[in-house]
């Protein structure tokens, strides 16, 4: 049995990963800004068993709070085996539609939130001489995704951080990998630019989540990748193709992105 922390665990990818962990008998702490939601998901997953889940309120932008939670879990459960630094937000719109508030929110949560989780987990795992850290980036961290460059920039940073840390950590017995999903059917798509100035891509109050790749299917791919200690986990299949295309022809990937951006400008009269 392993002890795991999943941030952003109250919904979406985090909750789906937690369900897979509980199904195999793990002890899982679901940490989320929505502490009530995390507790509700934890109760439901524990009832399903055979593992046990606990909910915890956590703001990943608070480094001290992140360290306190991670160290407390390690202390209470005689170690910390697996961490998913998964919490994140969606920012979208053309560069000229965005403000520094969009940039700062993306950096604070999508990048610094991961940094805080890595810092806390790595300190513990170095002492143990073992552990596995998975940082959620995005397909946008592997390809030049337009209409959301703060999001794209932070996700590229997470991929770079993860791969460089993987190189350093291997000799210490610590595994590190990046999760880079494409578009997944989660509530993240309902909260684009939440609490920030609107752009043409901001979510509407009555927005429905598109019937695209489900989070529970992604979670199975994630756990397979974790078992294999993959450096980068990419799903669905179109994401792997897009990543391959960007590696083979960076200029071609930019041209494809330009077509998307030009179409958006035309649609919105920008």
Burial 48-60 (b: 16+ CB within 10 A, else e): eeebbbbbbbbbb
Q: Per the omega criterion (within 30 degrees of 0), is the bond before 236 cis?
A: yes
Check: CB of residue 23 under 8 Å from CB of residue 70: no
Helices 112-128 and 63-76, packing angle to 10 deg: 30
**Annotated active-site residue in 70, 122, 151, 264:** 151
The verdict on whether 151 is a catalytic residue reads yes
The C-alpha atoms of residue 87 and residue 85 are separated, in whole angstroms, by: 6
Q: Which residues contact 63 (CB under 8 A, 6 or more apart)?
A: 112, 116, 119, 120
The residues that bridge with 133 in the sheet, in sequence order, are 83, 176
Q: Which residues contact 259 (CB under 8 A, 6 or more apart)?
A: none
134 to 85, 93, 232, 256: CA distances (angstroms): 6, 28, 9, 29
The C-alpha atoms of residue 208 and residue 205 are separated, in whole angstroms, by: 9
The C-alpha atoms of residue 233 and residue 80 are separated, in whole angstroms, by: 22
Q: How many CB atoms lie within 10 A of CB 250?
A: 12
Residues annotated as part of the active site: 151
């Amino acid at each position: 049995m392993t002890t795991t922390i999943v941030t952003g665990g109250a919904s979406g990818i985090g909750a789906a990963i937690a369900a897979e962990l509980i199904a195999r008998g793990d002890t899982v702490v679901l940490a989320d800004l929505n502490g009530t939601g995390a507790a509700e998901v934890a109760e439901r997953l524990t009832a399903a068993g055979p593992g046990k889940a606990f909910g915890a309120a956590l703001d990943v932008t608070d480094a001290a709070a992140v360290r306190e939670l991670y160290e407390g879990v390690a202390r209470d459960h005689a170690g910390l085996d697996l961490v998913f630094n998964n919490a994140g937000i969606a920012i979208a719109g053309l560069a000229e539609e965005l403000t520094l508030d969009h940039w700062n929110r993306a950096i604070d949560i999508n990048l610094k939130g991961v940094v805080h989780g890595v810092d806390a987990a790595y300190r513990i795992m170095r002492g143990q001489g073992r552990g596995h850290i998975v940082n959620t980036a995005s397909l946008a961290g592997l390809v030049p995704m337009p209409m959301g460059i703060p999001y794209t920039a932070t996700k590229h940073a997470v991929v770079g951080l993860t791969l460089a840390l993987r190189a350093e950590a291997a000799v210490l017995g610590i595994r590190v990998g990046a999760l880079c999903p494409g578009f997944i059917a989660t509530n993240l798509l309902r909260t684009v630019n939440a609490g920030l100035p609107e752009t043409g891509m901001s979510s509407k109050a009555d927005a429905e989540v598109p019937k695209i790749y489900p989070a529970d299917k992604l979670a199975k791919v994630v756990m397979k990748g974790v078992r294999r200690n993959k450096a980068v986990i990419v799903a669905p299949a179109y994401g792997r193709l897009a990543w391959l295309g960007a590696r083979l022809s960076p200029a071609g990937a930019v041209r494809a992105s330009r077509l998307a951006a030009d179409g958006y400008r035309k649609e919105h009269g920008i």
